[in-house]
Every structure is written in structure tokens, then in C-alpha cells.
Amino acid sequence: MLEATEVAVEFASRGRRARAVDGVNLSIGAGEIVALVGESGCGKTTLARTLLGLERPTSGQVSYDGTPLSYTGRRLRAFRRQVQLVLQDPMGSLNPRQTVYEAVAEGPRIHGLPDEEEVVASALSRAGLRPPERFFLRYPHELSGGQRQRVVIAGALALSPKLLIADEPVASLDASVRGEILALLLRLRDELGLAALVVTHDLGLAWNIADRVAVMYLGRIVESGSTEEVLTNPQHPYTQALLSVLPESPQRIVLSGEPPDPTRIPTGCRFHPRCQLVAAGKGADACHTTPLPVLPPTTTGSEVACHLAQVPTPR
């Protein structure tokens, strides 16, 4: 449904060019929940913004239902109805001077939807705020964190989108509320067929909610596949390292080396300076010299971008 093809996004940073996203293929099918996992600064938020059309790719393209995204007003606006955004901090995502009703009604007003009040009420109740009328005149600061995030989700739902892009949707919420919001996303998928791209650094979250996982490192997706494949049988040393720090993991892999810098992408495999296998002397020459190809978008099999991993068998 939503597809990124060879997308690269560059920023000028202190005279140097930072490639925040450096060639990414990613596709999200209808009704599918995909988790985009990676550490801070790996480009996952930039990728999400690019998928939303908030950022224009330097090269490559984003397409929706096979049509490349157009960045001119009218058609971009039509696209915006289909793909909606949920951000990490619900307090910041809501205008503090707007009531819940105003916040949720904004989308329908922009797009001129009829029966505004009904749309707002149904969006609120689908987001779990019932009875909706009780919340109409509330201000964001009068609500709890979980309720605020529900209002943000209701604001997105009011446009009946096909896809939700959620950037760390529960990272700023209490643990107990976290589960409720995740359950809400799953319920919306079941009831409305709403697909979602969940951007997170939390593998546990990916495990709980996602059908597929894409692991991102320094602007590239280094491993992708079904959640179970990737998280129980990780092929890429980076994914293995990420998983090893979960509490239930028997042994921790601590990555050494400098944190990645998108203005200086290493030669060869971009992960090799921090790779625990290379550090243990198990690396190959190719790790230092040969760049890896960009992974193709998958909706079924698993892919891994590593010289040392076995060629993935089609599953």
C-alpha cells in the first residue's frame, strides 16, 4: 500500500552532508503492522516523516497504492487523508489552547467532511474515549497521558485513514497505559483494517504488536522479516546485539566503537566498525571493503544485509 523505493534523505549539517536515510526500501501492506526498530539517530524518524510526505526524499520515491507521491498542494492533501501521524509526546501533539473537540475536528474541517460532530464523536469513541460528549470541551492539560494519546489517535482516525504512522507512540506513557494504547492499535487494525508503521527503539513493543520488523542502522535497513523470524532468530549482528540487552537474554553483547555519524558513513559494511563479529576476528575482508546492496522490500520473506550471515533461505 505505502511503499518507499530507494529513498535517501540528505541534510546539510555544518557544511557536511548528512545522509539520514541512505537508500531504503520498505513497504507496508493493507492492515499490516510493521515495526521500524533502531537506536536514536539511525534515521527512523526521518524515514517516517518522508513516508508522510513531510520531508521530500533527496532521491528515490514514496508511492501510495502504486502512485508516486506528488508534493503539490491538492494531491498531497488527498494523500494526507490516507496516512496519519501519531507522535511520541501527546501533550506536545495537541495545541494547548484547543479543546478535544477542536483538536479532533481539525482534520475533518480541513478536508471538508460532512457531519463534523458525528465524525468527531465516533472517532473519540473508537479511540476509547466514551462517552465522547464528555470529552468535547476538555483541554489537553485536564486529561491523563493515556487519554491525551487517545485524543491524538482520535484526531488521526477522524480522517478514516488507511495507515497510521506512529513515532514512538507509547514511549512517554506509563507502563500500564502503554499496554492499553497498544491494545487500541491492535483493535483498530482488527476492526477497521488500519495498517500501522510503528517507529520504536523498543524491541519488546515490536514483539507485542508487529507482524513484521525492519531493523535500521545508520540510514539503512539491515534486517527485515516477520517479527518472529527476526526476533527469535536474528541474522544480523546488530539485531543480535539489540536483542541481547533485553532482560531475558542470557548474554549481553556490548557494542564498542563510536556511535554512528551520518556525515561519515564507513566504507564496506556500514556496521563493521562496531560489529562484535569483526571485533572478535570473525570478520571477512568484504566487511571492510565491499558495500552491501540495499535490501529489497519484502512482504513475506526475510532479508539481511550482512556479509557474514548465511544467504537467507526463502521462507
Partner 1 sequence: MTATPPVSQPAVEALEETRARHGLLRYAATKAGGALVSIAMVIVATFFLFRLLPGDPVRALAQGRNMTPEQLDLERARLGLDKSLPEQFVQFVKQTLQFDLGTSYEYKRPVLDLIGERIGSTLLLTGTALVMAVSLGIWQGARAGWKPGSRFDKFSTAISLVLWSVPTFWLGLLLLMVFAAGVGPIPGVFPTRGISSVDAPEGFAYVLDVAQHMVLPCLTMVAVVYAQYLLVMRSSVLDEVGQDYITTARAKGLRDDDIRRRHAVPNALLPTVTLVFMRIGFVVGGAVTVEAIFSWPGLGQLFYEAIRVPDFTLMQGTFLLITASVIVMNTLADVVYHLLDPRVRSA
Taking the C-alpha atoms of residue 113 and residue 125, their distance in angstroms, rounded to an integer, is 18
- Evaluate the omega torsion of the peptide bond into residue 140 and state whether it is cis, within 30 degrees of 0: no
User: Between 60 and 128, whose beta carbon lies closer to partner 1?
Assistant: 128
**Is 152 in contact with 86 (CB distance < 8 Å)?**
yes
SS3 303: strand
Give yes or no for residue 2 binding partner 1 (CB under 8 A): no
How big is the chain, counted in residues? Answer: 315
Closer to partner 1 at the Cβ: 2 or 295?
Answer: 2
Taking the complex as a whole, how short is the minimal distance between the CB of residue 152 and partner 1, in angstroms?
7
The 3-class secondary structure across 119-168, one letter per residue, is HHHHHHHHCCCCCHHHHCCCCHHHCCHHHHHHHHHHHHHCCCCCEEEEEC
Applying CB under 8 A, does 148 fall inside the site for partner 1? no
User: Which CB, 110 or 245, lies closer to partner 1?
Assistant: 110
- Should residue 85 be labelled a site residue for partner 1 when binding is judged by CB under 8 A? yes
Q: By CB under 8 A, tell whether 171 contacts partner 1.
A: no
139 or 207: whose CB is closer to partner 1? 139
Distance CA 261, CA 241 (A): 19
Rule CB under 8 A: choose which of 19, 44, 80, 236 binds partner 1: 80
Residues 103-122 that bind partner 1 (CB under 8 A): 106-107, 110-111
**Considering only CA atoms, which of 201, 277, 211 is closest in space to residue 242?**
201
Nearer to partner 1, 111 or 264 (CB): 111
Tell me how far, at minimum, the Cβ of 158 lies from partner 1, in Å: 9
Residue 96 binds partner 1 (CB under 8 A): yes
**Side chain identity at residue 145, one-letter code:** G
**Quick check: 199 and 48 in contact, CB under 8 A?**
yes
- Residue from 77, 187, 264, 282 binding partner 1 (CB under 8 A): 77
Please give the radius of gyration of the chain, using alpha carbons only, rounded to the nearest integer.
20
DSSP 266: P
Residue 147 near partner 1 by CB under 8 A:
yes
Using rule CB under 8 A, residue 95 touches partner 1:
yes
Q: Does 39 bind partner 1 (CB under 8 A)?
A: no
Chain contacts with partner 1 (rule: CB under 8 A): 52, 54, 73, 76-77, 80-81, 84-85, 87-89, 92-97, 106-107, 110-111, 134, 139, 141-142, 144, 146-147, 152, 155, 159
